[in-house]
Amino acid sequence: MSQIQGTTVLITGGASGIGKLMGELCLQEGAKRLIIWDIDREETTAFAKALLLQGYEVHTYFTDVRNVEDIVKSASDIRQKFGGIDLLFNNAGVVVGKEFYQHTHSDIDFIMRINAEALMHVALEFIPGMIERKKGHIVNIASAAGLVATPRLSVYVASKHAVIGWSESLRLELEKISKDLHVTTVTPSYINTGMFEGVRSPVVPVLKPETAARKIIAGVKKNKIYVRLPRIVYLVPFLKGLLPQRWMDTIIGKWFGFHKSMDAFKGREK
């Protein structure tokens, strides 16, 4: 079991949504310090101030994870000040909900850089220190969309497919080095944080952020390889391996309603 008590925790996209909630939970579990990376200065500052008033140790970095130089600079500062981190939540993510042919090249770069490439660049900065200490835990927030094709989410789906494949490979590599090096991949369905405002999910419930955050933290403490939310998502890999694709299209797309889930998508205003 991974102990959160006494650890240094870094959460990307940690000023809002489940990132914010996971940060609070880690501190309540006894984390020594919380490091927040986010580009929203207003939300980050307000959140950090509230935590500091409660007596917690919190440090903020206005790090743009699209920019490798920004990642390297912030990571270097963290290593100099704190000697590295123990627990990394690769949480920052974005979504652009439209048909693939409606995307611009900039849309594609924007989604892939934040949702897939950034996770690798951030992890690369901190993994050597974890290997040296032979201890550490990386939590990669992917998505059930990385398991199921969904119209109007093609590039988002591609980015989450990439995260799942990379995260699983990374886990195998680190496990060869030490039994105390862990990687957890999280594949939630839609979470009601505003990011997916307007989605419709008639069968699989839209998750409450508080529920998702608590289940992720519980999974991390148990060193789970995967945390899938809700539980029905655990069936998806099994069904994909068992059923013909057209059957999957019918079950996931028509019966579960996923193929129309993005029809009324609005997303965040900001």
Q: What is the DSSP string of 233-251?
A: GGHHHHHHHHS-HHHHIII
Q: What share of the chain is helix, strand, coil (3-state, %, to 5)?
A: 50, 15, 35
Residue 30 backbone phi and psi in degrees, to 5 = 105, 15
Residue 107 is encoded by which pair of tokens? Answer: 């849309």
Is 156 in the active site?
yes
Query: Which member of 56, 61, 156, 190 is catalytic?
Result: 156
Helix axes 105-112, 154-177, angle to 10 degrees: 30
Residues 110, 55: Cα–Cα separation, whole Å:
37
Q: Please name the helix (run of DSSP H) or strand (run of DSSP E) that holds residue 42, with its range, or none.
A: helix 41-53
Q: Looking at residue 135, what DSSP letter applies?
A: -
Give Cα separations from 5 to 31, 40, 42, 89, 268 (angstroms).
Answer: 5, 28, 28, 16, 34
Residues 185, 229: Cα–Cα separation, whole Å:
11
Residues 132, 180: contact at Cβ < 8 Å? no
Long-range CB pairs of 94-97, under 8 A, 24+ apart, other chains included: 94/195, 95/153, 95/156, 95/195, 95/196, 95/267, 96/155, 96/156, 97/152, 97/153, 97/156, 97/262, 97/265, 97/267
Q: Which residues are catalytic?
A: 156
